[in-house]
A and B are shown apart, each in its own frame.
Chain A
């Protein structure tokens, strides 16, 4: 291993779901304690701590964790970057190592969202008594529901529909079948918030949120945390052979934002920045899509998963519908996608998501995924996207040791 390689030494995620008896710090502490134990290291050895929590972004979650597990004096970076918060925390720890400021770092993400309802567009102010223009659109009254929608299921519905308009082949049923796949996958994942298989009829007949996304086609709001201990190659060389054997190589770590494109401030463009991140990641890793054994991508809605097959270049441009129809993205297909159950079924505790997907891939690369193991997995990719926008992509490789 080269000195400047980056490695995951230890990684852990909590069960996703309802944790009524645990607060944010309890969940974070469980994930961090698990990651430290997994890596065979202690809090005292962490030279940098990066903490991701979106809904409590000003709570100083990193320091709160230190106050429970160890006030070591190590620098803390509390980060918030929409749904890319977890991936951003991981990247902050990695950048500290790359910058030579640390050899060992801790990144964690945590969120409590069980029963949260709509995260955007969930409330609208009453109209004021006298109309007066305010804000950047000079609006005299709230515009959600009057000029399009601010709810995420509706925004991402349009993103999937736009793909259908451009390339054809989409339908309510097609999007529901993507959700059927992820719910089926989650039946093998004991850490998923929902691990019950759902039939296509159940999915299509469920409560409609924003056509074509019914409730099970939306990411599941839930509680959860995930944490990773990362090290430099030079540090890993000094550790035990068992630690080296289980270490997972981070071959690429990329964060992008959306470059200006026509329409991007009208309907968020989640495509260009994902394609840019994937392009950079494949280049960093010296690998291509055909090298991937599994992918965990940001299926915040069933309509989103489809477009990211294309954006991550898992299929040819415009070919996402045929790619899905071929069965490729089922766990027994040529390119398994979201074998964890994805955000729709495993769940989406926002801050944790971008580390939990790394845990999923790392666990397969270590050959420790149990009944849902993708046999012989050597290379995997993780992807998250947060509106605003931010996209994080990581490519992971099994240790050669």
Chain B
């Protein structure tokens, strides 16, 4: 099996792929990027928390026009995962407003986004429809 690397460092691969966030130990604010301090309270101590893999679509757009090299159309969305908001594409769903709806229940899934010259696969994530 090819070597794999997550597209971003807040995606954890393995048997149960999931996202992780930095949670401020003082106020509970969550962040996906490398932090200098908490944007909410200014403190500097964080703990790593797992983000639920089930979520609900709170907003979406169907992008039909993008930079060269980006396949269109694709669905970009804001997904509410148990109270933590996640930015992601919606995948494994037809890209039209009849199939993509506000409030739609979704779950995290992973896919290969590319392979480099050393045969390492970059693994990205998206959310696909699930039964409520």
Chain A interface residues toward B at CB < 8 A: 118, 121-124, 126-131, 133, 136-141, 143-149, 151, 153-155, 157-159, 161-162, 164-165, 172, 207-213, 260, 262-263, 265-267
Contact = CB atoms under 8 A, between A and B. Distances in A.
Interface string B45-83: 000000000000111111111111111001011100001
B13 interface: no
Contacts of A144: 66-67, 70
B71 A131 contact: no
6 contacts: A130-B120, A146-B89, A162-B78, A207-B64, A210-B76, A260-B29
The 10 closest A-B pairs by CB, nearest first: A138-B9, A263-B85, A145-B70, A157-B61, A162-B59, A211-B62, A149-B76, A136-B33, A158-B59, A148-B87
Contacts of A123: 67-68
B117 A267 contact: no
A262 B38 CA distance: 12
Task: Select the residue from B10, B84, B116 with max chain A CB neighbours within 10 A.
Answer: B116
A161 B61 contact: yes
B65 A147 contact: no
Nearest to B42: A260
A267 B59 contact: yes
A157 B87 CA distance: 14
B116 to A, nearest CB: 5
Given A140-B122, A158-B61, 18 more contacts: A118-B65, A118-B67, A121-B66, A124-B66, A131-B114, A140-B6, A141-B113, A141-B122, A143-B7, A147-B8, A147-B87, A149-B61, A165-B58, A210-B76, A212-B97, A265-B31, A266-B87, A267-B78
Interface of B: 5-10, 29-34, 39-40, 57-71, 74, 76-78, 83-89, 97, 102-103, 113-114, 116-118, 120, 122, 124-125
Task: Select the residue from A123, A154, A159 with max chain B CB neighbours within 10 A.
Answer: A154
A121 B67 contact: yes
B89 A143 contact: no
B67 to A, nearest CB: 4
Contact of B64 (A130, A159, A209): A209
B78 A158 contact: yes
Contact of B77 (A128, A148, A213, A263): A148
A159 B66 contact: no
Contacts of A130: 116-118, 120
